[in-house]
Amino acid sequence: MLTSRLPTFRNAVLAALLAAALGACADLRWHKPGAGAAELDRELGQCRQEARFRSAREAGLPGSALPQTIVVDPQGRTVAVQPRSPDSERFLLEHDLMRLCMRQKGYELAPEPPASVRN
């Protein structure tokens, strides 16, 4: 009797794994109850611009350079290494500031519903 339920259980597990994998590939969009597409575009543009200017200003401050790490390479030489480039740090800061701005405006980043659900 147990063997007759095994294929059904296996199919259920495979279906759940497939659904989880497909959900992980879903596009993310900003959602706010009552906000239309025009309002979303306007506020997203404002947040992007504000984040871009603020991150550039903060990344350009004197003394804001990342500390270097001193390591020894495989040939035994001492080398100073910077963990990440200033551009990648500025990009990450800009991204975080933009997300913070949108959340403060009441938006939530969530998976976009499939086209069949939207229509």
| Tokens coding 85 | 């480039």
How far from chain centre, in Å, is Cα 48? Answer: 14
32 part of a folded domain? yes
For 75-112, the pLDDT digits (tens) are: 888 888 766 666 777 888 899 999 999 999 999 988 88
3 part of a folded domain? no
Total structural domains within the chain: 1
pLDDT at 2 over 60: no
pTM above 0.75, yes or no: no
Are the C-beta atoms of 108 and 31 separated by less than 8 Å? yes
pLDDT of residue 78: 85
52 part of a folded domain? yes
Are the C-beta atoms of 70 and 79 separated by less than 8 Å? yes
Beta bridge partners of 111: 28
4 part of a folded domain? no
For 4-48, the pLDDT digits (tens) are: 555 566 666 666 666 655 555 678 899 999 999 999 999 999 999
65 part of a folded domain? no
Give me the domain span that covers residue 31. Answer: 9-60+81-118
pLDDT of residue 48: 94
For 41, the enclosing helix (H) or strand (E) is helix 37-59
Tell me how crowded residue 114 is: count the other CB atoms within 10 A of its CB: 11
18 part of a folded domain? yes
29 part of a folded domain? yes
pLDDT of residue 1: 47
71 part of a folded domain? no
